[in-house]
Amino acid sequence: MKGIWGLLLLFCTNLWAVDQEADFLLQWELQQQQSEFVETFEKRYEGVYFIKFAKIPFEGELKVHNVFLEDISGYDLMASITTMGSVEFELIDFPDEVFETFNQSYFKWHQLHTLYFDSVKQQWISANEYQQLIVSEVSPSSVSAMALVWEYWPLLVLGFLLYSVFSSVSNSRRVNQSLADQEKLLAMQKEMYAESQARAERSEALFEAMLTELKALNEANRKPE
């Protein structure tokens, strides 16, 4: 009986994964068709599309090799974003000199191949929409709060350890040994405080750099070609 339920669960899981991949590909196709960089995007057969660019001098076949769906619900900045999807593709006979000349247009078009699933809206959103969501939701005050928590949590743990040591010392006859232990703990406290302070500074600098980069990308995407 357990084996039957296990097979049923596996079947449902695989079915859900197939449905999610199909839904992702439909949204990816829509992103291509609506892009300002693409004039024509048509599906010829499974995994192969005809593409004609509007801002890049190339028309030909685009072949999809792989589709990747990654669960990012555990470590993404936005709680509503649960899955990141991306397409691994090949532009058949795409000239290197065209890429070298139109690399900025190619880079902006390439962003359309990564989508994020918003569990609140129950839909896939573009990389540009994802960047705007982070910029609007992640404020400097929240970054500072995270940095403070990151900085002082070792001191809280160490404070509890100190309290435990002092309590045990009061009932111990080995006063000299307890004083030595206290000195070691105080030295550890100073070292951990210095380390946590440096870590907090690095963390805050990282978040500020990330916000600056996201805002710059957001501004760049808003500028007309």
Instruction: Tell me what pLDDT residue 101 has.
Output: 94
Instruction: Tell me what pLDDT residue 56 has.
Output: 95
Instruction: Tell me what pLDDT residue 196 has.
Output: 62
Q: Checking phi first, is residue 147 left (phi over 0); if not, alpha (psi -120 to 50) or beta?
A: alpha
Helices (H), 111-174: 127-137, 140-170
Instruction: Tell me what pLDDT residue 10 has.
Output: 40
- CA-CA distance, 28 to 168, in Å (whole number)? 63
Rg (CA), the chain: 27
Distances (CA, A) of 223 to 46, 69, 115, 213: 35, 30, 21, 15
Closest CA relative to residue 214, chosen from 121, 111, 110, 93: 111
Band (129; pLDDT cuts 50, 70, 90): confident
Write the pLDDT tens digit of every residue in 68-126.
999 987 765 667 888 999 999 999 999 999 999 999 999 999 989 999 999 888 999 98
Mean pLDDT of 166-183: 57
